[in-house]
Amino acid sequence: MDEDEHTHCACSPPRGGLHSPQTFPPRSGGYRAGSKGTYGREVRRMGKPATEEKAVFVIYVLTILAWIFLSDAIGVAVIALMAALSLFFLRLVEWEDVEKRVQWGIILLYGGALTLGNAMETTNAAGWLATKIIPIFGENEVVLLAVLILTTFILTNIMSNTAAVAVMLPISFGIATQAGISPVLSSMAVAIAGGGAFMFVIATPGAAIAYSSGYITQKQLAKAGFLASIICMFIILLTAVFYWKLVLGL
């Protein structure tokens, strides 16, 4: 496990444990976690898996294995499309069900977000925005790191994680060199902050999937994502200033 993974592991439990129960409180009247016999009764009520359910499970497992071992050769998207088409070929799902249950608006929204992010990267609008914001804050090391992390968090919520990091890395490298900060330190901070897409439906596929379930609203997602972003930015900054700099000597 490298330093980036250590920081992600340190960041996720605090942000999840500190604010998730308050933002998404358990519904009253639901099952109590660990209540005796609850899960056993539910399993018995469902009965034995049907043939169709077993077939879906096999497709699910094969898809995961293909993503692990064949994604470089075939591509993640192609594997996902093949899995989806196999559900139709085996008559495990009907198109009418897909029309009713798939949130097509979310797909179009996410597609628009990818287009926007690509346009910002191609036209260098994201880079221009970053270069205008960051120099305002002078050459204080802690302040510059905080601004780099904050700017990366903003960009990664409106464009893909990879694009946000690709835009910010050259900028952070140049600014760190001019300010006398270790480029490795600033690059690591930007790379980890690139995974902080928590606030919007368009930020990550996971957020879009959760939103499409109908159990959360954009307002709830933004509220939880804002708190998660603050917690993670604080942890990344502390890690960069005290652990990477003082302990690792960056």
User: For 157-170, how does the pLDDT look when each residue is reduced to its tens digit (9 = 90+)?
Assistant: 887 787 788 878 88
Condensed to tens digits (0 to 9), the pLDDT of residues 20-57 reads 556 666 655 555 555 657 777 777 888 888 888 899 99
C-alpha angle 230/119/8, rounded to 5°? 30
Q: Quote the pLDDT of residue 238.
A: 92
Q: Quote the pLDDT of residue 82.
A: 93
| Mean pLDDT estimate for the chain | 78
Condensed to tens digits (0 to 9), the pLDDT of residues 203-217 reads 777 777 777 777 888
Helix runs in 90-204, H state only: 95-101, 104-122, 125-133, 141-156, 161-179, 183-193
In whole angstroms, what is the distance from residue 222 CA to residue 39 CA? Answer: 33
pTM: 0.61
Q: Quote the pLDDT of residue 24.
A: 62
